[in-house]
Amino acid sequence: MSLADRGYPIWIGSGVSRVRSCWQQALAPGRVALVTNDRVGPLYAEALSQQLRDWGFPVVVIQLPDGEQTKDWQHLNLIFDQLMQHRFERGET
């Protein structure tokens, strides 16, 4: 996505979650907060978390309920609470 100095890569394709170079470009050094929901998380969170750990990225999974109703300030604050509880720093992903 080209947004001047705020751009970021987007990868689409089968197996892209297993391509180490994609993740190394996208992630800052340090821990990763994997934010998911209770519908997608049970399908993919453990496998993706383990893959990232194998590559040297410690992972904290934050799982929210599924649905549009969770896209609000209350649930954003739940994410912030988890990040603070795990003492995430600004430079971590």
- What pLDDT, on the 0 to 100 scale, is given for residue 61? 97
Structural domain count, the chain: 1
pTM here? 0.79
Report yes or no on 92 lying in a domain.
no
Report yes or no on 77 lying in a domain.
yes
SS3 15: coil
pLDDT reading at 1 higher than 60: no
Report yes or no on 21 lying in a domain.
no
pLDDT reading at 87 higher than 70: yes
Confidence bin at 3 (pLDDT 50/70/90): low
Q: pLDDT digit string (tens) for 22-81? A: 777 778 788 999 999 999 999 999 999 999 999 999 999 999 999 999 999 999 999 999
Q: Are 38 and 63 in contact (CB under 8 A)?
A: yes
Question: Could you give the CA distance from residue 41 to residue 43 in angstroms, rounded to a whole number?
Answer: 5
Report yes or no on 17 lying in a domain.
no
Give how far the C-alpha of residue 79 lies from the chain's centroid of Cα atoms, to the nearest Å.
Answer: 11
Report yes or no on 73 lying in a domain.
yes
The boundaries of the domain holding residue 33 are 28-85
